Chain A
Amino acid sequence: DAKTTQPNSMESNEEEPVHLPCNHSTISGTDYIHWYRQLPSQGPEYVIHGLTSNVNNRMASLAIAEDRKSSTLILHRATLRDAAVYYCILRDLDDKIIFGKGTRLHILP
């Protein structure tokens, strides 16, 4: 039931921006794009979500392609604390969140 495709892992240098891609070519008009992350030994943590327009919050920005078939989570200035597994998830009008394998982000000091 994987509706999104993400790279297995990515690396980034500390204090540099990180762009985490997600493809969701079969997205439907009612699907919201959600991002969560899971830090080591912790529960999943909500990051951001959007429908059509780009979104910003204190944690990150979400850039959504015009056709909505892909999106990018942007961490503006990565810190070591941002090392985690990042999940891109589509949520329809049902209420469950289905996690895939996500992208494991490594931050290099």
Chain B
Amino acid sequence: EPEVTQTPSHQVTQMGQEVILRCVPISNHLYFYWYRQILGQKVEFLVSFYNNEISEKSEIFDDQFSVERPDGSNFTLKIRSTKLEDSAMYFCASSEGEGPFRVGAFFGQGTRLTVV
């Protein structure tokens, strides 16, 4: 069964460093998302991406965050200068269609980011 793959599974970084979280969405999917979940809290929406541009972003997704689909298969989330409060599980998701063809989104297993 196709799945969303995320790497690395765990990333430890120093405060102020840049990190890139990587995701390989399901191959025929067109819509891509990043979410995060701080330990013990809700899953929070960060950003959605379609047709090579951001379609929606939350208040959390400030100028420190960026997303890219560099090569047609990978989907990355970059945090330019990490803060302690960025420590969380980051989930990538992809979806095949929207609107009248709305279907479920499929999530990866997540990358645990620890900022020290």
Contacts and interface: CB of A to CB of B under 8 A. Distances in A.
Tell whether A and B belong to one assembly: yes
Interface of A: 32, 34, 36, 38, 42-49, 91, 93-101
Given A49-B102, A91-B102, A96 B107 contact: no
Contacts, number: 58
22 contacts: A34-B104, A42-B109, A43-B4, A43-B89, A43-B107, A44-B43, A44-B91, A45-B107, A46-B105, A46-B107, A49-B102, A91-B102, A93-B99, A95-B33, A95-B56, A96-B33, A96-B45, A96-B48, A97-B33, A97-B105, A99-B35, A99-B42
A101 B44 CA distance: 11
B58 to A, nearest CB: 8
B31 A95 contact: yes
Interface SS of chain A: helix, strand, loop or mixed? Answer: loop
Interface residues of B, number: 28
A32 to B, nearest CB: 5
A43 to B, nearest CB: 4
Given A38-B43, A95-B48, A96-B48, A43 B56 contact: no
Contact of B45 (A38, A49, A93, A98): A98
A43 B34 CA distance: 12
Contacts of B56: 94-96
